Amino acid sequence: MLLIRKAKETDRNNVALCIAEGFEKDFSILCKDNKKVANAIATGLNMERFYVADIKGNIAGVLAISDCNGRAAKADRVFLRKYFGFFKGTVGALILKEEFEKPLDYPVTTGYIEFVAVQKKYRKQGIATTMLQESMSLANYQDFVLDVTDVNINAMKCYQNIGFEECKRIPEKHGKQKGFNERIFMRYCPSNKRE
């Protein structure tokens, strides 16, 4: 049975592992070992921002909802260096700080969805869709924004099926090295869908 719930402190390591697996390609520049990646990022996670898809006590998927008052993760340079080595850990801290900690320029009424990830063995079962819908209904925001890369076609389809609509595109710096050209920002307004 699938249960969508707020993450607990005891979920920290499993949430980190789900993120490491879900963003495996992104982290592979720093480290190809998902367990090391999970250990490197776990301490920087703000568990109060996370929701989990729980199947019989197993974390099948995660997502976070941040806002202008705070983000879901911080880059912990000490742990990044510990697990990736001094050089990759230092570079990783710089890259992840920009990605994880950049302040959000949205009103307090807007939730920013990030870290949407489903473990491989649970994919293509509608878990991401259910997790998004239920976590958004649990969160107290008037609207929601997220971004997705232009190459992540499956995620875009999932978001569009829920009711997210593209609102802008931003070319990615160093896109060739990152493997995508643009970030696509999408917005969802629950009040518009009720009419």
Rounded CA separation 179/25 (Å):
9
Tokens for 194?
Answer: 């009720």
CA dihedral 152, 154, 155, 160 (to 10 degrees): 120
Contact 48, 9 (CB under 8 A): no
Tokens for 55?
Answer: 């199947």
Rounded CA separation 128/125 (Å):
8
- Predicted local distance difference test score (pLDDT) of residue 194: 42
- Predicted local distance difference test score (pLDDT) of residue 118: 95
Q: Average pLDDT per run of 10 along the chain, which is 195 residues long?
A: 94 97 90 96 97 95 96 95 94 90 94 96 93 94 94 90 93 73 90 52
What's the pTM value of the predicted model, to 2 decimals? Answer: 0.91
- Predicted local distance difference test score (pLDDT) of residue 176: 67
Collapsed DSSP state (helix, strand, coil) of residue 194 = helix
Q: Is 146 exposed, middle or buried (0-12, 13-18, 19+ CB in 10 A)?
A: buried
Alpha helices in 9-152 (DSSP H): 12-22, 24-27, 34-42, 77-84, 86-101, 127-138
- Predicted local distance difference test score (pLDDT) of residue 175: 64
